[in-house]
Structures are given as structure tokens and as C-alpha cells.
């Protein structure tokens, strides 16, 4: 959603690129694409499957935001055991009033023991760190890629975390 922070400049992006899939807009299968922006870290079996599929379908994979680049807040559960986290969230937390139940549906994704950033499971071509990622940096990286140039964040001083 941070993509929308680039405001009216999205029209310039639209001139050069077709937005074929976005999880908020539609649920179509991902066709073969030139550029994919991926938000979020890999936390479950479903995410892993998805990112492997995305990698296969995309020529350029861009990790967008601190979660995708360095796990950020999603990685804060890595300091604890997964079972402890789930138990606290669904059962023992005071807000559950002692009536909490662990979700057991087969359709619910299985969380991995550890949350990992994208670059630990697939090859990531470019990164845009930041929480939220800076709109100017997003636009800079997109316009460089769409004009067949290689973005260099260390050069533009557009780095930003947190």
C-alpha cells in the first residue's frame, strides 16, 4: 500500500507499466511479469510457497519495506519459541478471558519457527528499506527500473529505516 504514497506520480508509473496484480485489488494468478514489489517477511509455509512462485514469475524482484528487507516487527517473535507466542496470543493472554482456543482449521496457514527476510529464501534484486518506505525512494527505484537503469540507494541518500 506504500506504493500509493507516491501520490500523483503513480500516473507516470502507469504510463510505463501495467499493474497486473495487487493483493488488495484482485486475486488472479500472477502471470510472468517484469517487476514485482513484495512487502512483508516470510512467516509461514504459505508465504514461502508464494515467494518462490513470485520469484519464478518475475524478472526483477524488489523487497519493499523493512519487513521484507530485515523482518522488522514481524521478526520480533524470533526471540521466543513459536508455541509460546501462539499460546500467549490465543490462550493465555488476559484479553482472551481464559476462553481462548488455538485455531485448528486445516485452511489456516502454518507459521514457521522463525521469520526470515526475503533474501534468505530467494534472490532479491533490489531493496527499498523503510517503515514505511519513503515515497521518494519508491518512485526513484521504480522510475530507474522502468527506464532500464539500475537504482543505487547509497548514491541518492534516500536510505531510511524505521
Partner 1 sequence: MTTITIQVNGKQLATEPDKTILEVCRANDIEILTMCHLKGVMDVGACRLCLVEIEGINKLLSACTTKVAANMVIRTDTERIKKYQRITTELFFAERNHVCSVCVANGKCELQQLGYKVGMDHIRYPFLYPKCELDSSHAWYVIDHNRCIMCTRCVRVCNEVEGAHNWDVMNRGTQVRVISDFNSPWGESVTCTSCGKCVHACPTGAIWPKAIVQGQLEKKPGIINELVEKRKMKL
Residues that bind partner 1 (CB under 8 A): 63, 66, 69-73, 75-76, 78-80, 114, 117, 119-120, 124, 127, 129, 131, 153-155, 157, 159-162
Number of H helices, E strands in the chain: 6, 5
Q: How far is the CB of 95 from partner 1 (least distance, A)?
A: 20
Which CB sits closer to partner 1, 47 or 158?
158
3-class secondary-structure state, position 143: helix
Cis peptide before 115 (omega within 30 of 0): no
Supply the minimum distance, in Å, between the C-beta of residue 46 and partner 1. 22
Do residues 2 and 132 lie in contact, with contact meaning Cβ atoms separated by under 8 Å? yes
CB atoms near residue 133 (< 10 Å)? 26
Q: Please say which residue, 75 or 100, places its beta carbon nearer to partner 1.
A: 75
In angstroms, give the least distance from the CB of 81 to partner 1: 10
Q: Are strands 33-39 and 111-116 parallel, antiparallel or unpaired?
A: unpaired
Q: Which is nearer to partner 1, 74 or 104 (CB)?
A: 74
Measured from the CB atom, the residue of 18 and 155 that comes closer to partner 1 is 155
Q: Which three cell numbers stand for residue 123?
A: 534472490
Amino acid at each position: 500500500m506504500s506504493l500509493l504514497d507516491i501520490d500523483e506520480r503513480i500516473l507516470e508509473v502507469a504510463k510505463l507499466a501495467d499493474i497486473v496484480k495487487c493483493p488488495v485489488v484482485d486475486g488472479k494468478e500472477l502471470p510472468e511479469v517484469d517487476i514485482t514489489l513484495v512487502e512483508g517477511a516470510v512467516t509461514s509455509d504459505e508465504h514461502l510457497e508464494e515467494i518462490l512462485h513470485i520469484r519464478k514469475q518475475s524478472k526483477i524482484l524488489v523487497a519493499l519495506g523493512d519487513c521484507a528487507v530485515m523482518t522488522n516487527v514481524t521478526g520480533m517473535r524470533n526471540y521466543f519459541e513459536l508455541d509460546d507466542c501462539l499460546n500467549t496470543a490465543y490462550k493465555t493472554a488476559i484479553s482472551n478471558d481464559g476462553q481462548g482456543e488455538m485455531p485448528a482449521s486445516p485452511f489456516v496457514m502454518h507459521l514457521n519457527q522463525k521469520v526470515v527476510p526475503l533474501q534468505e529464501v530467494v534472490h532479491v534484486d533490489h531493496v527499498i528499506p523503510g517503515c514505511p518506505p519513503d515515497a521518494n525512494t519508491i518512485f526513484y527505484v521504480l522510475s530507474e527500473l522502468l527506464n532500464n537503469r539500475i537504482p543505487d540507494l547509497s548514491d541518492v541518500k534516500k536510505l531510511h529505516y524505521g
